[in-house]
Amino acid sequence: MQSFRIARIMGIPIELHFTFLLLLILVYYFWGLDGFLLYIVLFASVVLHELSHSYVAKKYGVNIEKILLLPIGGMAMMDKIPKEGEFKIAIAGPLVSIFLGVLLYGLSQFIHFPILDIEGESYPLITTVGTLNIMLGVFNLLPAFPMDGGRILRALLTPRLGYLKATKIASTLGQYFSFILLVLGIISLNIILILIALFIYYGASQEYHALITQNIFDKIKAKDIMSPEIILVSPENTVNDVVYLMFKHRYMGYPVVERDKLIGTVSFNDISVVSDDILVKDIMKSPEVVSPSDTLNDIIHKLANSERVYVVERDKLKGIISKTDVLRVLKILGLKNNQMVEEYIDN
């Protein structure tokens, strides 16, 4: 298990990556209890930062899977962000961090305790956390992926340049910025700075390539990859009938159709635990359905919960798409060849 849940806020699971725990142990070993406390409070601020993104994202109907805490920061793992909401979602985190930082810094003028002792240096907790929150907010406003500023820049450039080109600009800036951080980290022998540089480079690169892949998937429709040859099963067929079909056709799942209408699906898993005389209608499951115009992105999402999806138009079954069909499409596209991918999009 790479992460485990520590809380649930606004219905969103908060999880710690196991490397976060390792870093906590190192912080306690080198900086003592006060350093440990500062690190915990700082990451509580990171959680607030990510919750701010998540709160606004939920207003746009975005599903938030979880917030994952890593040694170098937090990550709100969410579904695709709508283009019209990206600016507000992206800017929410830095604004909350800066507001919290200014608030704490103001309070520190009246409240001077507790004082932390880290490696012989004194750090007023409220002042330190306030300053770090301001730094967190400002750092995330840098106009480069994967920082929030990169998403803000993309949202501002998209109306004039288009989503793909705006993403490429923000991604390229992120890669340049990561190179600068890497050089600074090497010169100063700062391992944390080097790790952050590598994280930024990876995040910036992945953002653009993920968008390219998504654009390709949006161009491929269910009608383009479905198998039109359909072997039907009646709800009145028995398990023994289905076993015969499996031996004959080598397919492990079949649509259940009644009066030309898809009403269910039956697979090897359904029949493997029941007797041969059981009727299909008593064990069939609800089918995952897509329309002929649904994209490969939609299909992949549906296949996360099923071995196959059925293409239906006006209640009539048109075809079947299995995980094998999708894997075959990905192989044909050769998604590892970036030049071919970009040419595909341009066309």
| Whether the predicted pLDDT of 201 surpasses 50 | yes
Neighbouring-strand partners of residue 135: none
Q: What pLDDT score was predicted for residue 113?
A: 65
Distance CA 325, CA 172 (A): 34
Model confidence over 273-286: pLDDT tens digits?
Answer: 888 888 989 989 88
| Whether the predicted pLDDT of 95 surpasses 90 | yes
In which element (H, E) is residue 41 found?
Answer: helix 18-59
Tokens describing residue 269: 């898993």
| Cβ neighbours of 240 (radius 10 Å) | 12
Model confidence over 314-323: pLDDT tens digits?
Answer: 888 999 998 8
Cβ atoms 218, 295 nearer than 8 A: yes
- Record the pTM: 0.70
- The question of whether 229 is a catalytic residue gets the answer no
Model confidence over 48-80: pLDDT tens digits?
Answer: 999 999 999 999 988 888 888 877 677 888 877
Look-up: residue for tokens 């701010």? 52
Look-up: residue for tokens 């909401």? 85
Distance CA 283, CA 274 (A): 9
Of 15, 50, 86, 288, the active-site residue reads: 50
Band (119; pLDDT cuts 50, 70, 90): low
Strand locations in 109-169 (E): 115-118, 121-124
| Whether the predicted pLDDT of 295 surpasses 60 | yes
